[in-house]
Structure 1
């Protein structure tokens, strides 16, 4: 097998997905040492293609998650426009807490988007 845990030599040393780990287990079970060469190559090729498809599917999901968080941040930023019109003399002090909460939510969305991108 020759694979380090969490690494895949066919894909630039990226992390294994749950599907990739399953494919590794399938490969160990389905590929006995006495399997003829042509059959082994066919099986390896099919498993490699499936692994690639699963990695791309996971990458698309992570990219979609990051884009969703970006859209959420953009929507939240539109509410912060009111910050420019506030002064220190604002009588309704709760508006400052609301702005602080918006900024915290933006930070949470930014962290989630960054985590999704790192998973790629």
Structure 2
């Protein structure tokens, strides 16, 4: 009876945030390391340790995703600096290849924005 309670407590974290590879591993460990014949105190200690480890791993993954989003923001900032050349151009520009280069900057900004958004959605 207590065994079902321990499993439910471990799954509460899973419903609140996306599973990470470490969380999936912890779930498998929980199933293997929690035989029903464990006494209550031992089971509670094990469940607590696994839950704490799971939370630490989730926070580590969240920090990684947050850092990735910041990296994409910095990349966009750098690309915008190059894109500022657009202000010095006119439609009469003789070197038409400059427009293609600037168009590629817009594409790179969009790609980096999508990747940054994806990283934030993982949080």
- Show structure 2 runs of 5+ residues with no match: 1-6
Aligned to 1:20: 23
TM-score by length of 1: 0.92
Q: Does 1:95 align with 2:102?
A: no
Secondary structure class of the residue paired with 1:98: helix
CA-based RMSD: 1.7
Tell me how far 1:15 sits from its aligned partner: 1.0
Secondary structure class of the residue paired with 2:17: coil
Aligned to 1:35: 38
Structure with more of its chain in helix, by fraction: 2
Shift in CA distance, 2/12, structure 1 to aligned 2, threshold 3 Å: closer
- Structure with more relative contact order (C-alpha pairs < 8 Å, separation 6 or more): 2
Structure-to-structure mapping, 1:54-73, within 5 angstroms: 54-73=57-76
Aligned to 1:111: 114
Structure-1 separation of matches of 2:18 and 2:115: 19
TM-score by length of 2: 0.90
Structure-1 separation of matches of 2:100 and 2:60: 40
